[in-house]
Amino acid sequence: MGTFCSVVKFENLQELKRLCHWGPIIALGVIAICSAMAMIDSVLWYWPLHTTGGSVNFIMLINWTVMILYNYFNAMFVGPGFVPLGWKPENSQDSVYLQYCKVCQAYKAPRSHHCRKCNRCVMKMDHHCPWINNCCGYQNHASFTLFLLLAPLGCIHAAFIFVMTMYTQLYNRLSFGWNTVKIDMSAARRDPLPIIPFGLAAFAATLFALGLALGTTIAVGMLFFIQMKIILRNKTSIESWIEEKAKDRIQYYQLDEVFVFPYDMGSRWKNFKQVFTWSGVPEGDGLDWPIREGCHQYSLTIEQLKQKADKRVRSVRYKVIEDYSGTCCPLNRGIKTFFTSPCTEEPRIRLQKGEFILATRGLRYWLYGDKILDDSVLEGVSRIRGWFPRNCVEKCPCDAETDQAPEGEKKNR
């Protein structure tokens, strides 16, 4: 892949501070443990280096580690790309289609959004990922996705080494009784004897690494499929929510219009090439984007302005129909909800049946919004903000009764 031709460039040494965060510490710790244990188990107890297969296996393990770390650091330090401070469109008349960011003192370019963690407007922002302590966006979307692909593949290889090591080392040590199974963890009963015996400590470390490898394969693998799904549609997670609210707005006001996502090139291959290129550098400059035929360059930003002006669709009101404990990955909300838990530092909020939520954005199986603590739903001030599963809420039925716009107003809108 041409991504490996690109060179990681540090804007300054301050970027190294991104490593001092729980996300990178945990991620790099998992990579180090799985890689180191796989190499140790392979060399000492499963596939020695003096064999051809052992040498090839060891080289493959090193290759996985290098490629995983390369794409991880590339995604972290290259970053998503930020809208230049003070940026404005070349044609001053186009500024009426754009939102203005007071923090960056610049207009938000198409597909860009302001990240409160990075404190900058991010080009083609998808989300802020705590595991790389940076945003995923225009410049690092390909590296981030390759990391999500390579990490599970490397962990599958490592898991195979762990399983085979324990199998070969414990096979002759198992003794079965009528009601018991005993494991003799003394010196290995095979010829030739290993340099270091496979003892209890080695068994515990291998078993722990196997758990990390399997957990990483499942969790990161699910994230990879989610990312590929939106890449093949040339969308981001934020844009998927904007599109959902656009359809809701059109349906509510019964408008004679159809919202067409402007950046879908109409072909999965063309959408794929918008992110992955042989040169490793994404197409475009992150400010201007190719659009499908019949769409306007600012179709999405115009829709955002409409939603911002319409208080009803700025936040969608939901009523809690089932309790939610506020856990990060709830097992009782379904397997898809469990594995698609938002990869973000933002909190989850505890919900009880009968409460009201104002959702401002969301994913397929999760929503983000404010839980209103006051008696008044629309004028509530005291709120708790965070993520919650979609399947524990429903759109508030009172919207159709109390917030219904007059027929004439619908047509005018």
Q: Please list, in sequence order, all residues whose beta carbon lies within 8 angstroms of the beta carbon of residue 76, skipping any fewer than 6 positions away.
A: 18, 24, 132, 133, 134, 140
Nearest to 340 by CA among 218, 212, 213, 210: 218
Residue 94 CA, chain-centre distance (Å), reads 32
Active-site choice (121, 129, 392, 396)? 129
Residue 356: CA count within 13 A, CB half-sphere = 20
155 catalytic? Reply is no
Nearest to 153 by CA among 213, 69, 87: 213
Token pair belonging to 130: 């705590």
Nearest to 358 by CA among 349, 369, 350: 369
CA dist 136 and 123 (Å) reads 9
CA dist 109 and 83 (Å) reads 7
- Is the omega angle on the peptide bond into residue 406 within 30 degrees of 0, that is, cis? no
Nearest to 25 by CA among 151, 141, 132, 152: 132
CA dist 405 and 252 (Å) reads 9
CA dist 273 and 160 (Å) reads 33
CA dist 107 and 102 (Å) reads 9
Q: Coil, strand or helix: which one is 335?
A: helix
Give the active site residues. Answer: 129
